[in-house]
């Protein structure tokens, strides 16, 4: 095994840790929103921890590049790790934004959250598939994530168009729209991670 391979394994290990943290933050955020629990402090802690890990990944990337001067696929992989790390960091920030909506709206009983449930499941699947595609360098999985992003975008756009002329409960409408927007942004970062797989494999 090359010395650079050991360093890259360490980098990949940090990304696995970040993914686990970001998935936890996301899960807590959705739970908080659906149950109206105040989990803001815990999600904020995870978001800040992800920020620190992102800085650590950036430092390690710089160290590896300076020490080993990688080229070709090695360099592409290391550069892609920066995109993946940033995506996981943003997962945490948007998870915190989701929990913050509880403080803004307070209790919103009686709202229909079925669209949020559907979008939430799809986005979490994108997060999971994006990580799997990155670890396996699986182009087919990466392309699936990109396709799913179109589906989430359409859900957001369709709902936005619908509530413009809606006469329903505006608090429910706005709460749903905000959460859908945060989910749509998480989907965008999942897509960026998937695109980094195409960059690694195809250049």
- Nearest by Cα to 49 from 80, 78, 26, 17: 17
Phi, psi of 138 (to 5 degrees): -95, 105
**The pLDDT of residue 131 is above 70:** yes
pTM of the model: 0.93
% helix, strand, coil for the chain, step of 5: 90, 0, 10
**Residue count of the chain:** 203
What local confidence, expressed as pLDDT, does residue 84 receive?
A: 98
**The pLDDT of residue 11 is above 90:** yes
Domains delineated in the chain: 3-202 (1.20.58.220)
Structure tokens at 148: 């799913």
């Amino acid at each position: 095994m090359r010395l650079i391979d050991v360093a890259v394994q360490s980098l990949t290990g940090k990304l696995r840790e970040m993914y686990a943290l970001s998935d936890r933050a996301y899960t807590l955020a959705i739970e908080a929103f659906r149950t109206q629990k105040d989990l803001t402090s815990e999600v904020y802690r995870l978001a800040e921890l992800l920020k620190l890990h992102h800085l650590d990944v950036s430092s390690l990337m710089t160290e590896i590049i300076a020490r080993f001067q990688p080229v070709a696929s090695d360099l592409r992989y290391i550069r892609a790790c920066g995109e993946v790390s940033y995506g996981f960091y943003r997962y945490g920030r948007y998870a915190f934004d989701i929990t913050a909506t509880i403080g803004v709206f307070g209790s919103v009983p009686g709202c229909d959250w079925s669209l949020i449930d559907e979008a939430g499941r799809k986005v979490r699947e994108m997060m999971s598939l994006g990580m799997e595609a990155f670890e396996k360098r699986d182009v087919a999985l990466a392309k699936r994530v990109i396709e799913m992003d179109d589906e989430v975008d359409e859900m957001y756009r369709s709902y936005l168009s619908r509530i413009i002329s809606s006469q329903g409960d505006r608090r429910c409408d706005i709460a749903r729209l905000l959460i859908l927007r945060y989910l749509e942004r998480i989907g965008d970062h999942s897509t960026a991670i998937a695109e980094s797989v195409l960059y690694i494999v195809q250049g």
